[in-house]
Structure 1
Amino acid sequence: MVPLDTNDLLFRIRGGLYLDGILNKTDEDGIKEGFSEAIKDLIAKVNSQSFVLFGWESALYMWPKSRASTLPTELEETSTCKSILKLVPIEVNDYLKKIPARKSVKIKPLKVVNLELLFEMTRPDVAEPVTIRNNNSARIHFRLVLPIDVVVFANPEDQWGQLQDQFVKAVSTQLYEMDQCIQRYTKRKSVPIPQAFHFELPVSTTLTTVIYPAGYSEKDLEPQRKELHHKLGLEDKPYLRRSMAYSFPNDDLLNTHLRTIHKYIPPPSSEDFQVFVVHGSYTYHHYLQDGINDGGWGCAYRTLQTILSWYNYQGYINVPIPTHEKIQQMLVTAGDKGPSIVGSTDWIGSFEIRSVLNSFGITSKIMNIRSGSEIALAARELAEHFEVQGTPVMVGGEPLAHTLLGVAWNEETGAVRYLILDAHYTGEDDWASVIDKAIDWKHDDFWDPLEPYNLCLPQRSQGV
Structure 2
Amino acid sequence: MNVELWTNVHSELSPPGSEVKQVKKDVTYYHYGCDGIDDRGWGCGYRTLQTMCAWVLNQRSGAGEGKSVPSLKAIQEALVAMGDKPDSFVGSREWIGSFEVSICMDYFVEVPCKIIHVTSGALLCDHMETLKKHFDVIGAPVMMGGDSDNASKGILGVCNDPASLLILDPHHHGKIKSLPDLYDRGMVSWRPLDTFMADSFYNLCLPQYRHS
- The TM-score, its normalising length taken from structure 2, stands at 0.90
Once the two structures are superposed, the pairs formed by residues 7-406 of structure 1 within 5 Å of their partners are 256-269=4-17, 273-315=18-60, 317-318=64-65, 319-359=67-107, 360-398=109-147, 399-406=150-157
Amino acid at match of 2:158: V
The size of the alignment, in residue pairs, is: 202
Give the distance between the partners of 2:133 and 2:55, measured in 1 at CA.
18
Task: Note the C-alpha offset of 1:325.
Answer: 0.9
8 Å CA contact 2:4, 2:175 repeated in 1:
no
Considering Cα pairs closer than 8 Å and 6+ residues apart, tell me whether 1 or 2 has the greater RCO. 2
For 1:400, what is the secondary structure of its paired residue? coil
> Structure 1: which amino acid aligns with 2:157?
G
Deviation per residue, 1:198-232 (Å, 9 max, x gap): xxxxxxxxxxxxxxxxxxxxxxxxxxxxxxxxxxx
What corresponds to 2:175 in structure 1?
428
What is the alpha-carbon distance in structure 2 between the residues aligned to residue 312 and residue 436 of structure 1?
30
Q: Deviation of residue 444 (structure 1)?
A: 1.6
Question: What SS class does the counterpart of residue 80 from structure 2 fall into?
Answer: helix
- What residue identity is the alignment partner of 2:121? G
DSSP 3-state at the match of 2:57: helix
- Residue deviations 1:78-99, cap 9 Å, x none? xxxxxxxxxxxxxxxxxxxxxx
* Secondary structure of residue in 1 paired with 2:28: coil
SS at match of 1:426: coil
Amino acid at match of 1:444: L
SS in 1 for 2:159: strand
Contact 1:419 1:440 in 2 (8 A): yes
Q: Whole-Å Cα distance in 2 between the matches of residues 328 and 461 of structure 1?
A: 26
Q: Distance in 1 between the 2:178 and 2:142 partners?
A: 22
The residue type equivalent to 1:311 in the other structure is V
Looking at structure 2, the residues matched to 409 and 343 of structure 1 have their Cα atoms a distance apart, in angstroms, of: 42
Relative to structure 1, is the Cα distance of residues 317 and 434 closer, same or farther in structure 2, using a 3 angstrom cutoff?
Answer: farther
Q: CA deviation at 1:427?
A: 4.8
- Counterpart Cα distance in 2 of 1:317 and 1:418: 30
Q: Partner letter of residue 394 of structure 1? A: M
Unaligned runs of 5+ in 1: 1-254
> How far apart, CA to CA, are the structure 2 residues paired with 1:431 and 1:314?
26
**RMSD between aligned residues:** 1.5
Amino-acid identity (%): 38
Q: How far has the Cα of 1:446 moved from its partner?
A: 2.6
Structure 2: runs of 5+ lacking an equivalent:
none
C-alpha distance after superposition, 1:150-175 (max 9, x if no partner): xxxxxxxxxxxxxxxxxxxxxxxxxx
Measured in 1, the distance between the counterparts of 2:30 and 2:72 equals: 12
Q: Residue 304 of structure 1: SS of its match in structure 2?
A: helix
**Could you list the per-position Cα deviations for residues 4-32 of structure 1 after superposition, in whole angstroms to 9, with x for gaps in the alignment?**
xxxxxxxxxxxxxxxxxxxxxxxxxxxxx
Residues 167 and 189 in structure 2, CA contact (< 8 A), matched pair in contact too = yes
1:261 and 1:435 in contact (8 A); partners too = no
Given residue 376 of structure 1, which amino acid in structure 2 is its aligned partner?
C
Q: Alpha-carbon deviations, 1:90-147, whole Å to 9, x = none?
A: xxxxxxxxxxxxxxxxxxxxxxxxxxxxxxxxxxxxxxxxxxxxxxxxxxxxxxxxxx
Cα offset for 1:268?
Answer: 2.0
Shift of 1:261: 1.4
Give the Cα–Cα distance (whole angstroms) in 2 for the partners of residues 459 and 445 of structure 1.
Answer: 27
Distance 2:87 2:21 in 1: 40
Please report how far the alpha carbon of residue 336 of structure 1 lies from its aligned counterpart in structure 2 after TM superposition.
Answer: 1.3
Asked if the contact 1:299/1:401 (under 8 Å) is kept, the reply is: yes
Q: Secondary structure of the equivalent of 1:374?
A: helix
Deviations 1:222-275 (CA, angstroms, capped at 9, x unpaired): xxxxxxxxxxxxxxxxxxxxxxxxxxxxxxxxx920001111111123xxx200
Distance in structure 1 (CA, Å) of the matches to 2:172 and 2:125: 25
In 2: Cα distance, 1:409 partner to 1:306 partner: 24
- Between the aligned partners of 2:50 and 2:195, the Cα distance in structure 1 is 23
Q: Secondary structure at the match of 1:430?
A: coil
Deviation of residue 303 (structure 1)?
Answer: 0.2
> Which of the pair has more CA radius of gyration?
1
- Offset of residue 435 of structure 1: 3.7
423-432 vs 449-458, which moves further: 423-432
